[in-house]
Structure formats: C-alpha cells, structure tokens
Amino acid sequence: MRTAFIETLYERAQNDSRIVLIVGDLGFGVVTKFMKELSNQFVNVGVAEQNMTGVGAGMALSGKVVFTYSIANFPVMRCLEQIRNDVCYHGANVRIVSVGGGMAYGALGPSHHATEDIAVMRALPNLLVCAPGDPVETRLAVGALIDHKGPAYLRLGRAGEDIVHKGDPPFELGKAITIRTGDDLALISTGGMLQNTVKAAEILSARGVEARVISMHTVKPLDTQVVLDAARETKAVFTVEEHSVIGGLGGAVAEVLAESRARSLCFQRIGLKGVFSSLVGDQEYLLRNYGLDPQGIVSTIQGVIGHEAIPNR
C-alpha cells in the first residue's frame, strides 16, 4: 500500500505544485525519489511529529495540499492535540498518513501497533477517515484525497499486501465497494483485512454459505446505506478490522444499526477485544493468534450463527 501511495502522490505532485509531503525523518527507502526530484515540495521536520503537524497546518492554510507521513501511531497519538486544534478546528487541507496500520510492525510491539487509531480519529470533528483495502484502493484513495476539501486521515498497511481488485472499481470517498454478492450473511471489512475477508468468504462458499463482502474503505463518513441494505437483505452482519472492536469500524456500524429501524438481526464485531498484544511475532502470526486470519474469521462466524449453519466440509 505504501508504494501505491507514494507513486500516486509523486505522479500527481509533478503537475500540482500545491502538493507537499512532510515526513518525520523516516521512510527514505520509500520517499527518496519524491525528495530528490520534487525537493521544493518536500520537508523533513526531523523526529518531531507535533511540529510536523503544526507545519503542515500552516502550509495548508497558506494554500498547500499537505500530506504528513509517519509510521503506525507516531503521526496520530504523539500529536493528537495538534491534529485536533491546528488541523481539524481550522478545516485545514492536511492528510495525516499512517503507514503500518494494525499490527503490521508485528514484533516491535504495542508502541508500533496502530489498533486504536480509527476510534481516536473518528471522534475528531471535520476529519475524514479512510482505510483502503488493497493497493488499488490506495491509489484511488490518494487521488480522491488530493481533491478532497478539508482534513483527512489515511491509514495504510506496510508493504506486500495482495491486490484484491482485478481492475479499478468505481471509487468515491464515503461510498463502500461490494466485492462479492451473497444473501446469507454480510462481511464488512476495512483496511488490510480485505484479503483475509475475501478468503473467509470463499471458505464459507465452499461450505454452502454465500457471504456478501463489502470493502468499507471510508470509515467516516460511513456508507450507512450499504450497512442498512446488508441488514435488510442478509441474515447476519459481521465487521472485520485489524483494530480494536471498540470505536472502530465495528463501533461505527453498530451505531448505524442501533439507531435504525432495521429488523432485528445477528451482528458481531471481529477484531481485537480492546487489548494490547502480549505476543511477539510478525503480522501474520499475530493475526492468526487473534482470530483475524481467514480460518479464524470463519470460526468466529461459525460460533455466532451455529455449526449447523456452516458445516465443516
């Protein structure tokens, strides 16, 4: 995802001098080309994320379209006050980019895991929250965010994510993408969980259960209509996220369902249960241990709707 991000940003910045990339003294294996060839549109503020955000807000209020870039929690938690007061309060055109969402930085532990960031950023007024599901969605999201007016948060994976989309789907911020159809149940995914969610749906299909898969690349504003359609047209709705179930995608969908007049249905959030990871290992290992690999997702669904509904075959 980060490669798709920087390539798209570089391509657009070549023809738009308003676009500025600000980094906190990292990512040079990724941003070097941008830094060398578009030096007038690149700033390295050093290891000072609060300053990075303040500088970005000032430049945005002077007419620039600013992307601040750092890993996991650093561009979010470390400078939350500046994001709230400098960026969101003023409606500044700053896009806060976090690379390594979820547990992508695996063995580096909770200080480098971004598993509460969506909840925190969802709570800030004026801030759009976007977590694309694969490199294709990332490329489309970056283009849309350049044209977006106002603050935004872009949550990316780290690197090496599978491409889910065979071509470019219709893409609009705030409008979910239906990856596959199904009327038995709905799986609503955000961010890097999209590939595992699709694989889980394929396992379910082989067992005679057809799952609708929805990529909710924009968590705020949420596509409420696609949620309500899923609630009306399927027997159960599950959200899947590499994030705490508190306040993230699951929380957002639960709010919509609770305030709607949709019929009673089965609903379950799949994600981290509001805990820090106590395990050490790479991302794949952590996802498997927290039930976020394809089989783990299927097992949770099976436990909720019953083994009889999803036979083991």
DSSP for 228-286, written as a single string: HHHHHHSSEEEEEEEEESSSSHHHHHHHHHHHS-PPP-EEEEEEE-S------S-HHHH
Mean pLDDT of all residues in 301-309: 82
Domain boundaries, the chain: 2-156, 177-305
List the one residue out of 118, 126, 84 whose CA is nearest residue 101: 118
pLDDT at position 133 is 97
Range 177-305: architecture per CATH: 3-Layer(aba) Sandwich (3.40)
Gap between the Cα atoms of 237 and 223, Å rounded: 15
Mean pLDDT of the chain: 95
313 — pLDDT class (breaks 50, 70, 90): low
- The fraction of the chain above a pLDDT of 90, given in percent, is 92
CATH number of 2-156: 3.40.50.970
HSE at residue 274, side-chain half, CA atoms within 13 A, is 5
Burial (CB count within 10 angstroms: exposed 0-12, middle 13-18, buried 19+), residue 196: buried
Confidence of residue 158 (pLDDT cuts 50, 70, 90): confident
Threshold 0.75, pTM exceeds: yes
Question: Given the structure tokens 């976007």, which residue do they identify?
Answer: 130
Task: Report CA 154 to chain centroid distance, whole Å.
Answer: 7
- CB environment 236-262: b (16+ within 10 A), e (fewer): bbbbbbbbbbebbbbbbbbebbeeeeb
Per-residue pLDDT band at 312 (split at 50, 70, 90):
low
pLDDT, one tens digit per residue, over 88-137 is 999 999 999 999 999 999 999 999 999 999 999 999 999 999 999 999 99
Continuous segment of H or E residues that includes residue 208: none
Question: How confident is the model at residue 29, as a pLDDT?
Answer: 87
Contact 179, 214 (CB under 8 A): yes
177-305: same fold as 2-156? yes
- Taking the C-alpha atoms of residue 151 and residue 113, their distance in angstroms, rounded to an integer, is 23
Cα 105 off chain centre by: 15
pLDDT at 159: 73
**Whether the Cβ atoms of residue 200 and residue 294 lie closer than 8 Å to each other:** yes
- Contact status, residue 131 vs residue 104, Cβ threshold 8 Å: no
Q: What's the one-letter identity of residue 222? A: L
Structure tokens at 248: 């993230």
Q: What is the pLDDT of residue 221?
A: 98
Band of pLDDT at residue 310, cut at 50, 70 and 90: low
Q: What is the mean pLDDT of residues 204-211?
A: 96
At residue 161, does pLDDT exceed 90? no
- Work out the pLDDT band at 156, boundaries 50, 70, 90: very high
| pLDDT tens for each residue of 181-206 | 999 999 999 999 999 999 999 999 99
pLDDT interval class at 140 (50, 70, 90): very high
Q: Note if the bond before 221 is cis, omega within 30 degrees.
A: yes
Please determine, for residue 10, whether its predicted confidence score (pLDDT) is greater than 90: yes
